[in-house]
Amino acid sequence: MSLFGRPLADGDRLDVAGAVVRLKVHTRARRVSLRLDRTRREVVATAPSVRRLSEAAAFATERASWIAERMAELPQSQSIAPGLTISLFGQACRLESATHPVRYFPATDSEPARIAARGEGEAYARAVTRLLKKHALTVFAERTAYYCERLGAKMPAVSVMDARGRWGSCRPGIPGKPASIRYSWRLALAPFEVADYVVAHECAHLLELNHGPRFWAHVKALVGDERPHRAWLRAQGARLHAFGA
C-alpha cells in the first residue's frame, strides 16, 4: 500500500471512519495492533517494521467500526464561553462576561472563584486561555521551587506548553545554561494533587534522568504513592485536552 504515491512511512496519518490513524513502527512489537490514544484523540496502528506498515494500515481499515466506536467514546470538545464552570486546580471557577480586560477573582465565602473577560467567541476563549496559562505558570513555579528545595536541586527555568503527548518535560542543565522544566497548562484543570504530582515527577528528573528505582524513590518521598495520580491522568487526560478544542 502507498500513500500519496509513495510507500508508507513511520508517522504517516490515514483517515479511517472520520478518525486520524497514525502509523507507528515499534521494533519490539510482535504483531500489528491498534490502540486509541485518548489524549491525542487518534488511533495508533503499530507495526513491527516499516515493511509491515501496509499491513497495519489495512488492519485499521478493516477495523473501521471499532475505530468509530472508540472515537465516539471520547469526551466532546468543550467550548470556552461565559456561563461555564471549570475546575481550577480542584476548585470551582465560573467563567463570566465583562467589559474589562480578563481578570481572575478568587473565591469568597459566598462566591466561587471567577474569571471575567470581554469579547465573544474566539476572542473570549483566547483571553481566558491566556489567563489560565499565566495562573498555571505561577502555581507551577511555586511548587517547583518547593520541591527543588526538598531535593537539594537548583531551581530550573519554568514554562508552560500545550503538548498533547506529555504533561511535563525536563531538560538537564548544561554549562552556562540552567535546567528547564515545561508543564502542560492544562494540568490547571486537574485536581491540585494530580498537578502537583507532575511537578514532583519532573523535579525528580533533575536528579535522575530516567525512570529507574532511584527516580521513583525520589517521587515517593515527595508525594507518596503516585499511582492514583497517574491513573487519574490516564482516565481523565482526554477530557482536559477536549477543553477549548
Question: Would you say residue 79 lies in a domain?
Answer: no
- 40 and 65 in a single domain? The answer is yes
Give the N- to C-terminal CA distance of the chain in Å, as an integer.
33
Give the domain CATH number at 157: 3.30.2010.10
Whether residue 149 contacts residue 167, with contact meaning beta carbons closer than 8 Å, is answered with no
Give the whole-angstrom CA distance, residue 75 versus residue 90.
19
Of the candidates 72, 94, 129, which is a domain's last residue? 72
Range of the domain at 125: 85-242
The whole-angstrom separation of Cα 167 and Cα 55 is 32
Question: Both 65 and 95 in a single domain?
Answer: no
Per-residue model confidence as pLDDT tens for the chain (245 residues)? 555 567 899 999 999 988 999 999 999 999 999 998 887 788 999 999 999 999 999 999 999 999 998 888 888 888 999 999 999 999 999 999 999 999 999 999 989 999 999 999 999 999 999 999 999 999 999 999 999 999 999 999 999 999 877 999 999 888 888 899 999 999 999 999 999 999 999 999 999 999 999 999 999 999 999 999 999 999 899 899 889 86
Is residue 99 a part of any domain in this protein? yes
